[in-house]
A and B are shown apart, each in its own frame.
Chain A
Amino acid sequence: MKTLNRSVAAIALLCAGVTAAGAADDSTLALVPGGPHPYFAAWEQAGLDAAADLGLGEATYKIPQKWELAQQNQLLESLLSQGYNGFLIFPGDPVGAVSTAEELAGFGAPVIAGAGCYKDPSPAAFCLGTDTGKSAYLGAKELIKAMGDGEKRIVHFTGFLVDPNTQLRIDAVVQAAEEEGATVVQVIADIDAPEPAEEKINAYLAAHADEVDGIIATAWVPAVVAANALRRMGDDRIHMVGIDHDEAVINAIKDGVIDGTMIQNPYGQGYIGAYALDKLRSGCTVKDDAPFGSNALTTKFIDSGTAYVDASNADSYLDTMRAETDKILADFDATYLNCE
């Protein structure tokens, strides 16, 4: 009977259209990635921590079972019907996902884009993510620095071609290379699944290892596979900069197999996202003149931080990210929000 009452109440609530004026402690937030990916694993803990620290009703990590826009849409629709009232979302497609976000916003639920952005115009309050182009650019610069003098021929391993970030990364690496007099000899893409990555990266290195001086990997799986391949080849001439904090990548840095990695801040995205959603639900609004950054997709971008990790700080990279998170949170309200 209780369930029935609850469902009746939920229906009534939805019919009325939930307004943003509800008290903060009934915040039932959902953190929804684009699909299963190790990168987002930190969102789960971030949600739990935020719910405990801030006294939220819930801040739950909900994963679409496949990396597919339709699955994500269906999950979001279902979560809305279940009474979730604030969403941190990695958009399955920067444009295609806007339509669902508008529906969520239509029911008064605030939406924040996390780790990836919606393309403007969208109802998302802002986008909290890594500047992928900048990260790839900085990574390429670090790689070129590590290669030192002599020839600088770079091969770029990256992820799904259907991911719009992939093109940003390809362009950023090319730009960094041009500035430093290096050349990008080949881009191998669409290798975000381990088997094709294993096959293509190894095939490439087998054929062209002696024509390459540096590797930059700008997606999770290619970074892992390329690091493993370098370890197997026992090659110490080729330099490499990876991305993210997979165990295999961090260990490869510690063992000197690769030079470093560009880490992102998934935990901070989850935590700050939940914090801001709760604020927005309790009546705060985003400042019109907030010092947002901008990227190819949106003009309301907050950089969640990116950092280069090499052998000197490979053990303490988590602290680096925590510090970055605290730094953003410290003056978050004053910088970005108008609260009554």
Chain B
Amino acid sequence: MQQISRLSRTDWFGPLLATVLAIAIIGSLSKNFLSPYNIQILLLAIAVNALIAFAQMIIIAIGQMNLSVGAIGGLAAISFAGMMEVWGLPALPAALLALVIGLLCGVLNGVLVRITGISAFVITLATLSIYKGINLGITEAQPFYGVPAAVKAFGAATILGPIPWLLAPTIAATVALWYMLRRLPVGRFILAVGSNDHAAGLSGISVGATVVIAHGISGFLAALAGILVVARLQIGQPSIGDDWLILSFAAPVIGGAVLAGGHVSVTATALGVVIVAIITQALVLFSIDPFLVQVVLGALILAAVGLNKLRARDTAKGSL
């Protein structure tokens, strides 16, 4: 009994329960839901969306927000495709350079937030415009088509059964993030700065460096997501990243992240991504009016934050 109540207090228990229930219900209603091809499509969506969610989650962890996740992802995506088409670079160096660009964009966010002391909301709103503007300035809103066959093949290949290769970078990033937040000092620093940066500073943590590192990681993850999207779409579309904003907040919030900072869970965020992906797909599966998809997403966010709030209240009561 005690174990169950302890379980119910962890962040990942609720989302896991919801995921299992959703899979069971939808699976029993539609035989196609668990077909290998459908699972592959689901995993492809999860591979990209998880990285987008993590890019936001790491910033939520330090108690800030990053509006420029989509803009960084888009810039990295068109740089990746553009370098291959215009300069004829092979895929690997182009991908590395694009990741570096993402990292630099993130670091720039972090440095600006740190040295100016201005709210990350305002800084990333400004850099969102700047990065997106650079993207449009370079591409003039026309996509790059010259994506080499190797990249296209990578985007379509599967490791084993329905598991796509695109999931590999995401799994690596998930494990690395989990390990970092749980085991490495820098992960502890990030959470400490998020819960109370003043106290963190007093206890000898370099708050500035931690903030810059978190933004750097965010930029890196966003760039990785952008590159995966290019591999999946097989074109370098300038509009990549335009609609990541709601997505990037939905999964961490469903996963119980506290927007004030200091409390995030990699597992629960990943489960949040899975839930969103399953529900989006279920809406298509059951031919639900496309107009209503937005409403469902919004209601989902509200329901998740409401539940988290209730749970927090219960936990507080239980500990009294």
Contacts and interface: CB of A to CB of B under 8 A. Distances in A.
A200 B239 contact: no
A206 B63 CA distance: 39
Given A65-B141, A195-B233, A196-B243, A203 B37 contact: no
Given A65-B136, A195-B243, A200-B284, A247 B145 contact: yes
Interface in B255-290: 280-281, 284-285, 287, 290
B45 A199 contact: yes
A196 B143 CA distance: 16
B145 A188 contact: no
Tell me which of B41, B140, B237, B280 has the highest count of chain A C-beta atoms within 10 A of its own C-beta: B41
A205 B37 CA distance: 9
Interface stretch (B4-12, B28-36, B174-182, B183-191): B28-36
B284 A41 contact: no
Interface string B24-65: 000000101101011011101100000000000000000000
A35 B242 CA distance: 15
Interface string A206-243: 11110000000000000011001000110000000000
B19 interface: no
B232 interface: yes
A186 B287 contact: yes
A224 to B, nearest CB: 8
Contacts of B136: 36, 65
Given A188-B284, A193-B242, A198-B233, A38 B41 contact: no
Interface residues of B, number: 36
A63 B141 CA distance: 9
Interface in A20-39: 35-38
A207 B284 contact: yes
B243 A207 contact: no
A204 B284 contact: yes
Nearest to B37: A206
Interface residues of A, number: 34
A22 to B, nearest CB: 31
Contacts of A38: 142-143
A198 B232 contact: yes
Contacts of A233: 37
A224 B222 CA distance: 25
Contacts of B45: 199, 203
Contacts of A193: 239, 242-243
A207 B290 contact: no
Contacts of A228: 234
Interface string B50-91: 000000000000000000000000000000000000000000
A207 B37 CA distance: 8
A35 B136 CA distance: 12
Contacts of B290: 161, 188-190, 200
Contacts, number: 79
A31 B11 CA distance: 55
What is the interface of chain A mostly: helix, strand, loop, or mixed? Answer: helix
Tell me which of B38, B156, B235, B243 has the highest count of chain A C-beta atoms within 10 A of its own C-beta: B235
B280 to A, nearest CB: 7
Given A188-B290, A194-B240, A203-B38, A41 B142 contact: yes
Contacts of A198: 232-233
A195 B287 contact: no
A194 B237 contact: yes
B33 A202 contact: no
A203 B284 contact: yes
B105 interface: no
7 contacts: A193-B239, A198-B233, A199-B45, A204-B284, A206-B40, A208-B32, A225-B233
Given A195-B243, A206-B32, A208-B32, 20 more contacts: A36-B136, A38-B142, A161-B290, A188-B284, A189-B290, A193-B239, A195-B239, A198-B232, A198-B233, A200-B284, A202-B41, A203-B38, A203-B42, A203-B280, A203-B284, A204-B284, A205-B37, A206-B35, A233-B37, A248-B235
